[in-house]
Structure 1
Amino acid sequence: MDHLTSRFRRNKRDSPTTPTSQDPSAVFPTTADTKDTKPPLPSLSITTTPLTTPPGSSNGSHSLLPKSPLRSLNHFRTAHKRARSPALARINIPSIMSSLSPVDTPTDEGMTPTEKAEKAKKPQLPPFLKLSDTCIESRFHELTWRERWRSQQGLQNPSPNFQFARVLSPETKILDRYTNIQPWANNRVRLPVPEGKLDYINASPIASPSPLRPDTLPCFNYIAMQGPKVNTVEHTWRMVAQLKSPVVIVMLTDIYENYMEKCYPYFPGSVTQIQEIEVGETDEFGDGFRARVECVSQEERQDGAIQMRKMNLHVDGRGDITVWHLMYRRWPDFGVPKVEDYESFFELMKLSRELNSSTNNPRIIHCSAGVGRTGTFIALETLMREVDEGAMDDLDPTLNEEEHDLVFKTVNLLREQRRTMVQAESQYGLIYKVLRRQWLERHGLDDTTENERASKRLEVYHDPFVEHNG
């Protein structure tokens, strides 16, 4: 009962400047600590200079773009929406972590030499996949405290080159869907616009390497982006025009959820049924950029779970770019995909990889805020490859579960590149659940007792009082 008692014990709240009373450098990795091991980001334009102010008319809506069919419902939302996350309990992370332990596992005591030899031959579940749900919850809280520390340091450090510097220009606010979700100032995609114009778009280049075989498996590259708004549609297509053909866009949200716009219909063939979008008619940036987006074909996969569109982006003076748009419709705004939808979700990942030109060409992944469902997709795809390639088969079963937690390390790396990736605790727990299920299936283990214990440990509960705008 000690570990249960420690879970509900309330300690005095720590200082807001650091997650615990100890030295932050002892708890969180510094830039110097991770500089040599951190993979290079995709070859996209990253800003290290202050933002410039756009003309007064640069943020106006585009009259010829498709209009939202539920524009009359705009009174449901305000200009200061925030992507909400579950409130954190006032706990002391180091103290509770020291009292937690994984679910009890059988020991070798009393076993004969033959039984021990047979046990050694059997594949051993990676230690971090044995963590209890209580320990997984605490690991998620620790991730959140680390991010709060980064944000605090970003406000206190005046250097524009600081790794976690924040975007402070007020001109960007009208371009953000949620006021508290922005890219790090020094890890954002810069639009190719004339000097003196605002080059901001709420999108971050993401590099997600193999945590176990970085030298043999190629690094996955992405662009994590918010769901476009009516005044950022043309910005989105400007960004797409900088990538190599074919370009893959994965959309993990519906256009409207619970009568709220989660993403403006920025692509042809959407709910507006408009088959063509003109880009650049207002010449917002004064550079004469003109393009046209056409829907070439449209089909449904996995019983309607995936809407696949083939589009053509014609850029005047430069030629055509093929764009594959994969819209996934089985991931609810409140919660995670159901078990029966796993197959369609895995098919979505496979399709996006096969349609892409190469791993060096980043796939664009977005939901509504571009952090929750987007981060979960990236983390899952990265770690599921480790299982498929057999990289996890070589893990020492005696390793410390917390120090060698690949889920924690992968999500922390994503958050160093874009704030709040894997936003909700349920999304974080889903990663452990899917990996454990995949590992057991790979090794043909269907032991009823083991699966029952896994279900009890890693079952993800939905909280109807918490909104996750990822």
Structure 2
Amino acid sequence: MDHLTSRFRRNKRESPTTPTTQDPWPASPTTADTKPALPSLSITTTPLTTPPGSSNGSHSLLPRSPLRSFNQFRAAHKRARSPAPAHINISGIMSSLSPVETPTEELMTPTERAKKPQIPPFLKLSEAKSLHPDFRFARVLSPETKVLDRYANIQPWANNRVRLPVPEGKLDYINASPIASPSPLRPDTLPCLNYIAMQGPKGNTVEHTWRMVSQLKSPAVIVMLTDICENYMEKCYPYFPGIQAQEIEIGQTDEFGDGFHARVECVSQEEKQDGAIQMRKLNLHVDGRGDITVWHLLYRRWPDFGVPRVEDYSSFFELMKLSRDLNSSTDNPRIIHCSAGVGRTGTFIALETLLREIDEGAMDDVDAELSDDDDDLVFRTVNLLREQRRTMVQADSQYNFIYTVLRRRWLERHGLLDDATEHERAPKRLEVYHDPFIEHND
């Protein structure tokens, strides 16, 4: 048997030795920025600050532009799809590679030296110098503000956010951004449209919302573009009273220690446009300051991640007209919100801005010989909104909806709307898979 078993006996092999190398992927450093918050409500662009109470710095520095390609809109989730890429230590990687023999500068002829490619000057800058000097696109991220955000990936830009009027040293954060949308064609003759784009309030931010509203002129307007619940998920907490509901008391816990106390009651409620618009007249009474009339317009025909149907266009236009007519003045910003305050909210603001250009005749003089890429007013307008709040106009169906509505309005104005256009259908809404463990925003 020995001669049989020896045929199947394997010789032991020596395991090869593996040389150790230094890890070329070191942990990336972090950058922080702190500055005391202002004690009063601000609805204009302000310098970058850190919310009070955060000693570690609360801003995420974004080295890339937030203005992503509009051809690649994606549905946002409760959590970001992937973490930001770590900064790579190029010198560490290059040192582990075999050097390539190249002639030194001294040995080169003038002709060879002239042909040698030169690195662009801006690529020689360090990371700190290449970032925007005022951290323009830094988001407000801190443990204190995290519980106040409805979605983990939607925060206002740190230097363009509304600040609550609270005592110094108290957290003045609310997930809301001041938005200025000027006329792209007639900025000298048409007034700038002013808004506050905010997330749908949560249960723990209801009092913050009304504290912000108390700083507006009377009458004020709130446009709500989402239902309370959609697809079995809460999209917005019911922060307003109904006609038969009890008034809402604000400031009972004295969260900020300043004695602010107010009451919100519903004076009247009516349905418009066959139930598409639910219009409430609210009265906000602030102790020691008096009453503020607040018109609350709830639009109920705009599906999440989608657009209104063609047959609902008239009610959508009526919503815009009501919000303008009921507001005290163009200087008084109207509050627009959906769930995250970026998708439907951004679409509403962009459309209202550009529809005014058509109605005022500003687009009648646009040179029809220009190519599509020469001066796209839709792109310019949405681009400007995204510089003031991230991810405004979130889905590609919403972006296409802006073109569809503007084209129809322009054809109607000039009597060119034919039967085929009259019966066109709005783009199909994006079909979003609703994982029960993932909450989607706009």
TM (norm. structure 1) is 0.67
Aligned match of 1:52: 52
327-336 or 436-445, larger mean C-alpha shift: 327-336
- Candidates 349, 354, 369, aligned match of 1:398: 369
**Do the aligned partners of 2:310 and 2:426 also contact (CA within 8 Å) in 1?**
no
Distance (Å, rounded) in 1 between the aligned partners of 2:248 and 2:330: 28
Aligned match of 2:198: 225
Amino acid at match of 2:325: E
Change (3 A) 1:393 1:139: farther
**Do the aligned partners of 2:199 and 2:338 also contact (CA within 8 Å) in 1?**
yes
Distance (Å, rounded) in 2 between the aligned partners of 1:446 and 1:427: 22
Shift of 1:335: 1.5
TM (norm. structure 2) is 0.71
**Do the aligned partners of 2:45 and 2:159 also contact (CA within 8 Å) in 1?**
no
Distance (Å, rounded) in 2 between the aligned partners of 1:214 and 1:143: 29
Shift of 1:465: 3.1
Distance (Å, rounded) in 1 between the aligned partners of 2:367 and 2:209: 45
**Do the aligned partners of 2:276 and 2:300 also contact (CA within 8 Å) in 1?**
yes
Amino acid at match of 2:262: A
Amino acid at match of 2:170: K
Amino acid at match of 2:50: P
Aligned match of 2:334: 363
- Candidates 354, 362, 371, aligned match of 2:325: 354
Q: Which structure 2 segments of 5+ residues have no match?
A: 1-41, 55-67, 75-79, 88-126, 435-439
Distance (Å, rounded) in 2 between the aligned partners of 1:161 and 1:241: 30
**Do the aligned partners of 2:397 and 2:427 also contact (CA within 8 Å) in 1?**
yes
Structure 1 residues 364-379: aligned runs within 5 Å:
364-379=335-350
Change (3 A) 1:244 1:160: farther
Distance (Å, rounded) in 2 between the aligned partners of 1:197 and 1:225: 20
Counterpart secondary structure, 1:175: coil
Structure 1 residues 37-48: aligned runs within 5 Å:
43-44=43-44, 46=46, 48=48
Aligned match of 2:218: 245
Aligned match of 2:270: 299
**Do the aligned partners of 1:290 and 1:315 also contact (CA within 8 Å) in 2?**
yes
Aligned match of 1:183: 156
Aligned match of 1:469: 441
Distance (Å, rounded) in 1 between the aligned partners of 2:417 and 2:172: 53
Structure 1 residues 162-181: aligned runs within 5 Å:
162-181=135-154
Distance (Å, rounded) in 2 between the aligned partners of 1:318 and 1:334: 40
Distance (Å, rounded) in 1 between the aligned partners of 2:246 and 2:358: 41
Amino acid at match of 1:222: Y
**Do the aligned partners of 1:46 and 1:189 also contact (CA within 8 Å) in 2?**
no
Amino acid at match of 2:70: F
Q: Which structure 1 segments of 5+ residues have no match?
A: 1-41, 55-137
Change (3 A) 1:314 1:47: farther
Shift of 1:275: 3.0
Change (3 A) 1:175 1:43: closer
Distance (Å, rounded) in 2 between the aligned partners of 1:323 and 1:47: 30
**Do the aligned partners of 1:372 and 1:424 also contact (CA within 8 Å) in 2?**
yes
Distance (Å, rounded) in 2 between the aligned partners of 1:448 and 1:369: 37
Aligned match of 1:284: 255
Shift of 1:171: 1.1
Change (3 A) 1:459 1:259: closer
Distance (Å, rounded) in 2 between the aligned partners of 1:418 and 1:285: 27
Structure 1 residues 25-424: aligned runs within 5 Å:
43-44=43-44, 46=46, 48-53=48-53, 140-141=70-71, 161-269=134-242, 273-424=244-395
Distance (Å, rounded) in 2 between the aligned partners of 1:43 and 1:261: 28
Amino acid at match of 2:441: N
- Greater relative contact order structure (CA < 8 Å, 6+ sep): 1
Distance (Å, rounded) in 2 between the aligned partners of 1:302 and 1:238: 31
Distance (Å, rounded) in 2 between the aligned partners of 1:463 and 1:322: 37
Distance (Å, rounded) in 2 between the aligned partners of 1:44 and 1:172: 20
Shift of 1:48: 2.8
**Do the aligned partners of 2:309 and 2:426 also contact (CA within 8 Å) in 1?**
no
Distance (Å, rounded) in 2 between the aligned partners of 1:265 and 1:181: 20
Distance (Å, rounded) in 1 between the aligned partners of 2:280 and 2:367: 44
**Do the aligned partners of 2:308 and 2:426 also contact (CA within 8 Å) in 1?**
no
Distance (Å, rounded) in 1 between the aligned partners of 2:352 and 2:247: 32
1:242-282: per-residue Cα shift (whole Å, max 9, x none)? Answer: 11111100000001112211000000117xx4230000000
Aligned match of 1:105: none
Shift of 1:51: 0.9
**Do the aligned partners of 1:143 and 1:412 also contact (CA within 8 Å) in 2?**
no
Change (3 A) 1:46 1:322: farther
1:44-95: per-residue Cα shift (whole Å, max 9, x none)? Answer: 48463211129xxxxxxxxxxxxxxxxxxxxxxxxxxxxxxxxxxxxxxxxx
Q: Give % identity.
A: 76
Distance (Å, rounded) in 2 between the aligned partners of 1:228 and 1:244: 21
Change (3 A) 1:171 1:377: same
Distance (Å, rounded) in 1 between the aligned partners of 2:304 and 2:348: 14
Aligned match of 1:438: 409
Distance (Å, rounded) in 1 between the aligned partners of 2:285 and 2:45: 22
Counterpart secondary structure, 1:185: coil
> Structure 1 segments of 4 or more deviating over 6 A?
none
Counterpart secondary structure, 1:204: strand
Bigger Rg, structure 1 or 2: 2
Counterpart secondary structure, 2:283: strand
Aligned match of 1:460: 427
Distance (Å, rounded) in 1 between the aligned partners of 2:402 and 2:374: 17
More helix by share: 1
Distance (Å, rounded) in 2 between the aligned partners of 1:205 and 1:310: 24
